[in-house]
Structure formats: C-alpha cells, structure tokens
Amino acid sequence: MKKPPPSPRTATPGRATNHQNPSSKDNSRSNTSFSNSTNHQRKTPSAFSSIKAAFSRLFACTGSPAPDAGQLREIPSISVANSVGSSTGFKYRRDSGGSEKAAGGLAGKAEFSFEEIYKATGNFAPGNIIGEGGFGVVYKGKLKDGSLMAVKRVKKDMYDRHLSKEFRNEILTLSQIEHLNLVRFFGYVEHGDERIILVEYVANGTLREHLDGIHEKELEIAERLDIAIDVAHAVTYLHLYTDPPIIHRDIKASNILITDKLRAKVADFGFARIAVEDPEATHISTQVKGTAGYLDPEYLKTYQLTDRSDVYSFGVLLVELMTGRQPIELKKTIKERVTTQWAMQKLKQGEVVLAMDPRLRRSPASLLVVEKVLKLARQCLAPSRPSRPSMKNCAEVLWRIRKDFGEKCLPGDASPSIYSANVFEGDARKNRHDYFGMEDSDSYRYRSA
C-alpha cells in the first residue's frame, strides 16, 4: 500500500488549518459497531504529546457530580481549541467566515461559562434535542448573540465505561481541522462526569434523511453530485492536508450533514484516528470500528487501516447517493440485500436505469451521471486496496462528471417533467425508450463497457 503523500502544509496541534479547495462552490438497516484487536503500530507523534498531556490532565479531573447552574461560574475548565491553561468559565475559540447563518455569528474568540452552555440549551431541555448517536444526546444550543451550535452531551455511563479514549479522539481530531465541508469544532467542556462537545450546527438534517425523502424537497442529481464532491473534498483534506493525516473511519450517509443550500459537511469524528505520521509506516493497526455495510473488507480481515478504507466507504456512499437505498436493505430479497453488489450487477448488465433512485428525474444526462458515478464507485469498492483511487482522484473524476453534466443537461433536467415519474423496475428497460424516445447511442450509453 502506497503511503499518502507528504502534507503540503502543517497544522499546528491545537490550531486548525484553514484549507479550502478552490473548486468548492458554496462558499433493516444495520448500524453495528465492531470491536476487535488493538495493536497500534505507529509512534505517538511528538507534536501531539503536549496536547495529549493536556487532555490526560483534563480527563483525570473526575468525580464530582454535575453542578447546579448557580455553581457553574466557579468551574475550572479548559480551552481545547487554544490548548492553553484552564480558566474560570469555559473558553473556546470561535472561528469566522461560516457560510451558514448558524456559524456566521461565531467570529473571533470568546469565553463562555458552563452556565451559558446550559442556558443555550435551555438546561438541556428535551425540546432542544436534535438527535442521538452512539456518544449520547445532541442538543441545539442558541447563544445570547443568536448563534447556533450543536451541543453533544456524552452519555455518562458510556464515558465511565470505555469511551474516554474515543471521546478524546473526537476532540483531538476536531480541534485540528477547519474546512468548509467539515463540521467545525467550537470547543469542549468537562466537569465531574459531564463531557460536552460543541460543534457547528448544521441546519438541514443528514444525507440519509434526505435520501429517505424525509425532507420536503428531493435531492436532484446535480445536488447529489455536489454533495459527493463536497464529501470528497472534506476527506481529501483529512487525508492530504492535515498533519498527521486523518482517516475518518466512519464515512456514511448519516454522518453527512446537509446545509440549507444543500451542500455537505462531514461530521462525527468519534472514530477518527490520527493516521500515518511515521514516514516508514504505511498503515495503522487498530480496533475494527465503523458501520456495517460501509466497512472495507480488507480492514475487516487484517485490522489494518489506510486512507483507502475511507475510499471504500465513500464508494458505498456513492452507490447510496445514486440508488437512494441503504447499504444493507434487510427487507429486500437476498439478491438485492447488499446494495453495492446489486448496483454493481446492474452496472455490469447495462441496466443502470434499474439501479437509479426512482425519486430521481430521468433524462439522458442524469442517467449518464448515474452510470459514471457507479463506475467510480466500482473502483472505490475494489477488493484490493491498491486498485482503489485516492480520494483526490475521486474528487477529480466527480468534477469532470459535474462539468460534463452541466454541458449536456437540458433545461428539462432542472424542471418538473414526465421523467420524474417512478420507474417500476420490471418495466424499466422497456420504458427507457418511451422516456427518451431513442435507442442506446454512443452519446448516451446505458450499457457499461
């Protein structure tokens, strides 16, 4: 396995790098975690030792129960993002320039007390709950100046048992990164058995919800392409532009948050791990973690994690985006249960139209996009890692697909049309000609090579 190229820029631990890809415009169902062996083959990076030590001290502070709001001003806490000593009240770095209103107000640097976090969430009022994941409950928080943030309150019992490492992991990772397509880390607070992470609030739900049709508007093919590109940018950034590189480890549709402008931000770095920092190392061996249906089979076999494991998960995500299906569809027949296998079969048989999400408008141009994206997915899903493209290559291929689509798509592609009618699978091949009024041609190939 080829090791990732050296980072062209260095992120100082505790400070986020600011890299935006110039092409960025916006400026059943299994959910199983795996846990097997732990065998770190890499050295602890010296650059991280000080911040790690700070975290160790920080996490050593335990024991006292959660405070009353009135006592909170007295709580010593720490600014993770600034990585400086503790102070009274909660201090965190707030970054400027968010395209979303939610983040827009968080400019400069400010100090907040724990009490303010309580206030921001209405004392963790159930009405402010926006979700729940493996780590705990997520609240929407509104600061006095109207800025919004997502407040992740880590489950106490989970923390007490074995998640402290995971939790530290998430914080370490989040504190280093800054990219338009990655959910921003605003800060962290801990006291007694409370562990809270503050991140950018992303207003429009998860990609999975959008693909499930929970939101008002269906995602069109162009929007899905943009989302795929945003994710590719975010993960390219993690692989190439953070130092040391970061492997996300849990790329999946429910970890992709969608903005009001229907652009994507990759979230949930709880499983992320600082990747290869030893120039001689080509992978790290670690606990097998992630979500069923997205896991690189080689990672499952060997416990060896590389950036190409993310590429595999990204391949699954591309299939999800094009088909609308979950990676594992327990209610489907055996043949269709594993969506990637089913979709790749359709691609091979030249029946891409059958794999295309029935919610998508059918047009020659949109069908061609589905075919090209599935072909890219096929490369990402290659069993052998060296055969998989890098995430940067994926982004480049997707740019070309988007460009071609922009040139080929007709006005009808962007407006309601008869093509929006659902295709019943059994009739799809026949209907294809009714929809397009033509046979397969060189310009619009339905059969894969």
Ligand X SMILES: Nc1ncnc2c1ncn2[C@@H]1O[C@H](COP(=O)(O)OP(=O)(O)OP(=O)(O)O)[C@@H](O)[C@H]1O
- Phi and psi at 433, nearest 5°, equal -70, -35
Q: Return the beta strands (E) in 33-74 as ranges.
A: none
User: Which pair of tokens denotes residue 217?
Assistant: 């508007």
Name the one residue in this structure whose structure tokens are 């493996």: 134
Contact between 134 and ligand X (CB under 6 A)? yes
- Map residues 12-41 to x or -, x wherever contact with ligand X holds by CB under 6 A: -------------------x----------
Q: Yes or no: say if 174 and 199 are a contact pair by the CB < 8 Å rule.
A: yes
Is 86 buried (19+), middle (13-18) or exposed (0-12) by CB count in 10 A? middle
Contact between 133 and ligand X (CB under 6 A)? yes
Q: Which stretch binds ligand X (CB under 6 A): 36-44, 54-62, 107-115, 132-140?
A: 132-140
User: Which pair of tokens denotes residue 20?
Assistant: 């935006």
How many residues of this chain bind ligand X (CB under 6 A)?
22
Smallest separation (angstroms) from ligand X to the CB of 33? 7
Contact between 6 and ligand X (CB under 6 A)? no
Among 103, 180, 183, 197, binds ligand X (CB under 6 A): 183
Contact between 257 and ligand X (CB under 6 A)? yes
Contact between 255 and ligand X (CB under 6 A)? yes
- Map residues 86-125 to x or -, x wherever contact with ligand X holds by CB under 6 A: ----------------------------------------
Contact between 157 and ligand X (CB under 6 A)? no
157 catalytic, yes or no?
no
Q: Considering beta carbons, is residue 150 or 317 the nearer one to ligand X?
A: 150
CB neighbourhood size of 406 (10 A) = 11
Calculate the CA 14 to chain-centre distance.
21
| Residues ≥6 apart with Cβ < 8 Å to 305 | 247, 249, 273, 275, 283, 284, 285, 286, 299
Smallest separation (angstroms) from ligand X to the CB of 206? 5
Tell me: cis bond preceding 65? Omega within 30 of 0 counts: no
Residues labelled catalytic: 250
Residues that bind ligand X (CB under 6 A): 31, 130-135, 138, 150, 152, 183, 199-202, 206, 250, 254-255, 257, 267-268
